[in-house]
Structure 1
C-alpha cells in the first residue's frame, strides 16, 4: 500500500540541499510548493568587481531557488522576513557581542524564522509539512512523540542547530536528506539536472558575507564602544583594546601584547570593559550552566549521564547534566573542556539522539 500523498512546502534557499529536497518530494508524488525567505539586503555587500560573496539567502540565491522551482514546475513564493530577521537574529547578534557573549545566529534563525514563521506560512497554505534540506533525522518514538537524531553523514550533521525544535514542530517538519551523504545529494542533483547541481556550499554568517563581523557590528551600533583594558588572570594590566566585541573566548591572535607564554582570551567582562587573558590551562572549564533549556525528553528529575557538544564543530564529550529551576541546567564534564563560550549552545546527546540543549550562560 502506497503512502498517501501530501502537500509539502519546501524551504528553498537556492542551494543544492533544499533543491534536491524539493525534487525528491515531487518525484515521490507529493504536491510540492517552494518558498524562499528574503531576510537581508545584500546589495551593499557586492564586491567592486561585481562578484557576490558565497553566502546563503542572498538575492542570487532567491533567483536560483526560483529557477529550480521553474525547472521542477512547482509553485514558488518569496516571503519577506527582513523585519523579523533584524529583530530576532541581527539585534540579538549585536546585543550578544556587546555584552561579552559569542552568539550563534544560525540556531536562532532556525528557531524563529524557519520553524516558527515559515512553518506558520506553510500551515496557512494548508500544507501537511514543511521540509528543509537539513542533515538530520526525525522519527516517531512509538508513543505519539518525535525523536531528533543526527544526520547519517557525520561531516554534515546539523542536529546541533536544531535542538530548539519542539514536539509540535517536529510533527510538522520533514528532513528528506537526513539519511544521505553530501555525495549522494550531489548525485541526485545531477540526476534531476538541477540548475544548481554544481553550486558551491555557502560559507560564513549569511548577513556578514565577507566574514568581517567587527565591521558589521560597528556599522550597526557604532565604533569606539567598549574600549578598555586587557587584563591577565593575575590582575596585571597588560594593555588596551578597542572594544570587547572584537574578542571571543579562546582567541589567541590579535591581542597585541608581549608575554613569556602564549596568551588566550579566557573571559570577557563587558561591564568593566575588560578582556581577560591567561595561559592555555586557564581556558579549561569542568562545568557550565545553560539557560533556556529545551528538552526532547521529560525534564530529568535526577542527574543524567549524556554526551554534550558545546559548539558545532566540537565532538561530544561525556558529562553529568542536572536540571535546575527556571529552565537552566548544570553540565559537569568528566574531563575539563577548553573553549566554553557564553552565548553558544550546549546540546545533549545519547548516542545519535538529541536529548535537549540550552544556551551557555
Structure 2
C-alpha cells in the first residue's frame, strides 16, 4: 500500500455534528478522508415522524454533503436498506417476539453500520474507518488495539461498540474520544459549522420514531393481548402485547395503582407486575454469545459490568461456565433484562460484551 493510500480513511457521515467534527479533525491530522453516508430504511407510515429520525432524512444527507464540500472531501451515499431490514429490524422483531428486550443500536453497529463502512472501504482499497463515537482506541504495550471509555463520561459510547469484532479495532479511528460534547460544538462553530447548533438531537431509533413505535411493532407482530398478573398470580389488568413492555417499566401499564414490570411469562402470555420495587433487584445473571475484545481470561475473574446504555457500572465476579458467563454482582442491581447487552470492563478498558440470557433467582 502506497503512502497516499495509507492516509485515506472512510468517515461514516450521519449529517450530525459528531461525525462532521470527526471528519474535520482527521483532515487536520493529515488523513485524506472520504465521507460515506449510509442510506437506511424508514418505516413509511403517516404516524412516523421522519423529522425525528435525524440520521435518515434527506436533510441529514444534505448536511453531510455540505460539510464535505466545505472541507474539500468527496461524499458518497451507500444504500444498505435491504441489509438493515434483514440484520437490524429482523433482529429487533425476533427479540420482541421472544419476550426479550432488544438493543438494536449495538447490533446495528456490529452487523450493519461499521461493518458496511469497512465493506465500502475494502471495495475502494481503503484500510481505515472512522466514526463520531465517543470512545477511544488505545494501543497496548504489546501492540494490541483496545477499546476504552471516552473522557466525557456523560457521552461515553464504548458500551455501544462492545460487540464489534476484535479484528476491526486496529483499523478503527475514533477522533472524539478525548473531547466533550461542548468542545465538539465549539470546534464546529469555530470552523464555520455553526448550523449544527439548530439541528435537533434525536433519541429515537433511526427507522421509527418513539411516538410510532407501538404501532410499528403491532404491524410487524400483531396484537397479542393477555393478562396482567401480580406476583401472587392474581389478575389485575390486560396488557396490549408483551412486546410493549420491559422489565422495571412503571408508566403506561394502565393500572389504577403504582407498580413495576417484574417479568414476562411467555408460556401464559402474561405480564407479571409487582408493587415492591425491591423485587426488581437481582445479583446474578447469565450472559451468552460473549464477544471478547481481549485475550480470553482463564477461570473466574473480577471486572465491572454495565447492563444497559447510560447505566453506571457495578463490580462483579465473572464465572465461565460451558461457553457462557455467570455474572455475580457485588451489590444488587435493578432491572436485569433478558435481551439487553452486558459489557465488561477492566478499568477504562472494555473487554467485550454479550447478551443477557436470564436472571438467576437468589
Q: TM-score, normalised by structure 2?
A: 0.92
In structure 2, which of residues 219, 225, 240 is the aligned counterpart of residue 242 of structure 1?
Answer: 240
Structure 1 position 83 matched with structure 2 position 82? yes
8 Å contact from structure 1 (residues 244, 274) kept in 2: yes
Partner of 1:268: 264
1:76-101 deviations in Å (ceiling 9; x for gaps): 11001111111111111112122111
Structure 1 position 291 matched with structure 2 position 288? yes
Partner of 1:221: 221
Q: How many angstroms does 1:127 deviate by?
A: 1.3
Partner of 1:27: 28
Once residues 338 and 119 of structure 1 are traced to their aligned partners in structure 2, the CA distance between those partners, rounded to angstroms, is: 37
**Structure (1/2) with the larger helix percentage:** 2
Structure 1 position 41 matched with structure 2 position 46? no
Once residues 70 and 61 of structure 1 are traced to their aligned partners in structure 2, the CA distance between those partners, rounded to angstroms, is: 14
Structure 1 position 56 matched with structure 2 position 52? no
Once residues 188 and 96 of structure 1 are traced to their aligned partners in structure 2, the CA distance between those partners, rounded to angstroms, is: 40
Runs of 4+ in 1 over 4 A off after TM superposition: 42-48
SS in 1 for 2:206: coil
Structure 1 position 351 matched with structure 2 position 350? no
Segments of structure 1 that go 5 or more residues without pairing to the other structure are none
Once residues 173 and 194 of structure 1 are traced to their aligned partners in structure 2, the CA distance between those partners, rounded to angstroms, is: 25
Partner of 1:212: 212
1:249-291 deviations in Å (ceiling 9; x for gaps): 10112223345xx321110122321101112121111111111
8 Å contact from structure 1 (residues 46, 53) kept in 2: no
Give the direction of change, closer, same or farther, for the CA distance of 1:301–1:185 in structure 2 (3 Å limit).
Answer: same
1:326-347 deviations in Å (ceiling 9; x for gaps): 3x21111111111111111111
Once residues 170 and 159 of structure 1 are traced to their aligned partners in structure 2, the CA distance between those partners, rounded to angstroms, is: 12
Q: Count how many residue pairs are aligned between Structure 1 and Structure 2.
A: 352
8 Å contact from structure 1 (residues 265, 277) kept in 2: yes
* Range with bigger deviation, 115-124 or 154-163: 115-124
Q: How many angstroms does 1:140 deviate by?
A: 0.9
Aligned-residue CA RMSD in angstroms? Answer: 2.0
Partner of 2:136: 137
Give the direction of change, closer, same or farther, for the CA distance of 1:151–1:240 in structure 2 (3 Å limit).
Answer: same
SS in 1 for 2:209: coil
Task: Map residues 273-352 of structure 1 onto 2, 5 A cutoff.
Answer: 273-278=269-274, 279-326=276-323, 328-352=324-348
Give the direction of change, closer, same or farther, for the CA distance of 1:216–1:349 in structure 2 (3 Å limit).
Answer: same
Segments of structure 2 that go 5 or more residues without pairing to the other structure are 358-362
Give the direction of change, closer, same or farther, for the CA distance of 1:295–1:162 in structure 2 (3 Å limit).
Answer: same
Q: TM-score, normalised by structure 1?
A: 0.92
